[in-house]
Structure 1
Amino acid sequence: MTTTVTLTGTGVPHPDAARAGAGVLISCDDIHLQVDAGRSTTMRLAQAGVGPHELAALLITHLHSDHVTDVADLVLTRWVQDHLHRTGPLPVVAPDGRAPAFVANLLDAFAYDVEVRVRHVQEGPPEVAGHWFATPDVPKEVWRSSCGRVVAEAVRVRHEPVEDAVAYRVTTPDGVVVVSGDTRVCDEVADLARGADVVVHEACRASALADAVRGTRFETIFSYHADTVALGEMAQRIGIPHLVLTHLIPAPRTPEQEAEYEEDLRRGGYRGRVTVGRDLAVVTVGGPA
């Protein structure tokens, strides 16, 4: 078996042709888990050679728009193609609370399209198989593949004022992958990530840009994202062997700017392997970047 991690989107709410909205694909042979589905996720999956019909589940970390704008596209595309693949509704795993209502209302804007397609082509309306869980304060299993080879756990993270934000820990026969979602550096993610082989973590150059953003709205935004220096300290303290940075604030435009992210981690004391994320970058669990 081989487990791979593909960054389907490394961007933020501001559009960037090189960086789709937040998303991470974890694949173990024929089991594909998509974590979050920001802008253009469906297209990035196509570039990665994975269709919506091949997803075992979509795991949602939280309901910020840049993490969920492409959920509708995944659901509708899977539905339109169901006559070819017969894979049925998309399983969506997310914290209980506001997620069920979000999913229930997801396709309201497409009511006419659904009506026309059902009348002429489709056998029935699109459906989502919701798997909701109470947001746990300690890691808890929230999903398991039918074969039992792949397990996902979740824990609450610190992304206030957003409610019910979580990180995921995915265990496969090859190793462990943790995806932080959006959060400041916190003990909850540290505990979840202990013993992981690869940690995909959001990254914000808050320390480096503190003077530039002081007194602006960005100072508030930075307060609930993960400072790269603090992230480096945490990653070294708990022994993360490979740290993959995504949701990059600000988006690096040059190799020199990418290097600044790694320099921040080193300033925090981190000595492990670093991948500064680009869309469609692939990491093999237990193997080279």
Structure 2
Amino acid sequence: MTTTVTLTGTGVPFPSAERAGPGVLVSHDDVHLQIDAGRSTLMRLTQAGISPHQLSALLLTHLHSDHVSDVADLAHTRWVQDHMHGTGPLPVVAVDGHAPGFVRRVLAANAYDVDIRVQHVQDGPPEVIGHWFALPHTPAEVWRSPCGRVCVEAVRVRHEPVEQAVGYRITTPEGVVVVSGDTRVCEEVAALSAGADILVHEACRSSALAEFVRGTRFETIFSYHADTVALGAMAKRLGVPHLVLTHLIPEPASPGQAAEFEDEVRQGGYEGHVSVGHDLLSVTLEQGVR
């Protein structure tokens, strides 16, 4: 058994033919955890060989639309397929604030389709199993697989003005994977990442592009995302062996622009392994990148 991390989406709110909306799949044996579900997540999961009925849980970091726009497709398609697989409702793990209402509204959006399918095929309407938790200010366990082998912890991250934003730490028998969600570089993520084998972290070239965005709306946007140089400094301090960059801001349009993300992380002093993310990039704790 190996623990595998697959980037199901590395994009930003602007649509891209090459990058789906933000999402990360962490798998250990038959435990499959999807963190966030940006646009086209369902299609990327299919490309990765995972069907909605195989998901053990969907973990939401926060409710910015680019991270949750495919929740509806994921939950509804799992429901449509349930008469074939019998896996039941999708477990959803998220902060007990705005998320439960959001998920209820997502399920209600297809009411007409649900009524028709219940009359002819389905045994009942779509549901989720909510694992709602209080916003944790220090890392706290929020979910554990029924087999007991996979533990998920969460902590509040710094993505103001979004208050209910978290990152996740997934511990398997082989090691630890941390997924930052959207955040500035902060001590909360540092605490979550202590001893991690792989840190999947959003990356924004805010220092390098500061003069270009000064006085624009992008200056505000950059202020609540993770600067690449500061991220490199944090990863160096923590001794994280493998840093995976995702949710790349701005989206690189060439291999050279992608390489600049790693260059700036190195400027922060980080000397470990860096993977600049692309959709379906896969990392295992035993085998490295492929």
Q: Which interval holds the TM-score relative to the shorter structure?
A: over 0.9
Matched with 2:271 is 271
Question: Are 1:38 and 1:71, in contact at CA under 8 Å, matched by a contact in 2?
Answer: yes
Q: CA offset at residue 104 of structure 1?
A: 1.3
Find the aligned partners of 2:225 and 2:176 in 1 and give their Cα distance. 23
Matched with 2:108 is 108
Question: Are 1:168 and 1:180, in contact at CA under 8 Å, matched by a contact in 2?
Answer: yes
Q: Would you identify which runs of 4 or more consecutive aligned residues in structure 1 move more than 2 Å?
A: none
Query: Which secondary structure state, in structure 1, belongs to the residue aligned with residue 109 of structure 2?
Result: helix
Equivalences for residues 251-262 of structure 1 within 5 A: 251-262=251-262
Matched with 2:88 is 88
Query: Which secondary structure state, in structure 2, belongs to the residue aligned with residue 203 of structure 1?
Result: strand
Matched with 1:138 is 138
Check if 1:18 corresponds to 2:18.
yes
Matched with 1:53 is 53
Query: Which secondary structure state, in structure 2, belongs to the residue aligned with residue 220 of structure 1?
Result: helix
TM score, norm. by length of structure 1? 0.99
Equivalences for residues 243-254 of structure 1 within 5 A: 243-254=243-254
Matched with 2:40 is 40
The one-letter amino acid paired with 2:107 is L
Q: CA offset at residue 179 of structure 1?
A: 0.1
The one-letter amino acid paired with 1:135 is L
Matched with 1:223 is 223
Query: Which secondary structure state, in structure 2, belongs to the residue aligned with residue 104 of structure 1?
Result: helix
TM score, norm. by length of structure 2? 0.99
The one-letter amino acid paired with 1:81 is Q
Equivalences for residues 147-166 of structure 1 within 5 A: 147-166=147-166
Query: Which secondary structure state, in structure 1, belongs to the residue aligned with residue 141 of structure 2?
Result: strand
Matched with 1:284 is 284
Unaligned runs of 5+ in 1: none
The Cα RMSD (Å) is 0.6
Q: CA offset at residue 282 of structure 1?
A: 0.2
Query: Which secondary structure state, in structure 2, belongs to the residue aligned with residue 159 of structure 1?
Result: coil
Matched with 1:63 is 63
- 1:7-42: per-residue Cα shift (whole Å, max 9, x none)? 000001000010000000000011100000000000
Find the aligned partners of 2:2 and 2:256 in 1 and give their Cα distance. 32
Q: CA offset at residue 251 of structure 1?
A: 0.8
- 1:211-238: per-residue Cα shift (whole Å, max 9, x none)? 0000000000000000000000000011
Find the aligned partners of 2:200 and 2:207 in 1 and give their Cα distance. 20
Find the aligned partners of 2:35 and 2:26 in 1 and give their Cα distance. 8
Equivalences for residues 125-204 of structure 1 within 5 A: 125-204=125-204
The one-letter amino acid paired with 1:173 is P
Question: Are 2:177 and 2:197, in contact at CA under 8 Å, matched by a contact in 1?
Answer: yes
The worse-fitting range, judged by mean Cα deviation, of 103-112 and 70-79 is 103-112
The worse-fitting range, judged by mean Cα deviation, of 247-256 and 200-209 is 247-256
Unaligned runs of 5+ in 2: none
Q: CA offset at residue 287 of structure 1?
A: 2.8
Percent same amino acid at aligned positions?
A: 73
Q: CA offset at residue 3 of structure 1?
A: 0.5
- 1:133-160: per-residue Cα shift (whole Å, max 9, x none)? 0010000000000010000000000000
Matched with 2:207 is 207
- 1:227-283: per-residue Cα shift (whole Å, max 9, x none)? 000000000011110000000001112111111001000111110000000000000
The one-letter amino acid paired with 2:118 is V
Query: Which secondary structure state, in structure 2, belongs to the residue aligned with residue 269 of structure 1?
Result: coil
Find the aligned partners of 2:177 and 2:76 in 1 and give their Cα distance. 28
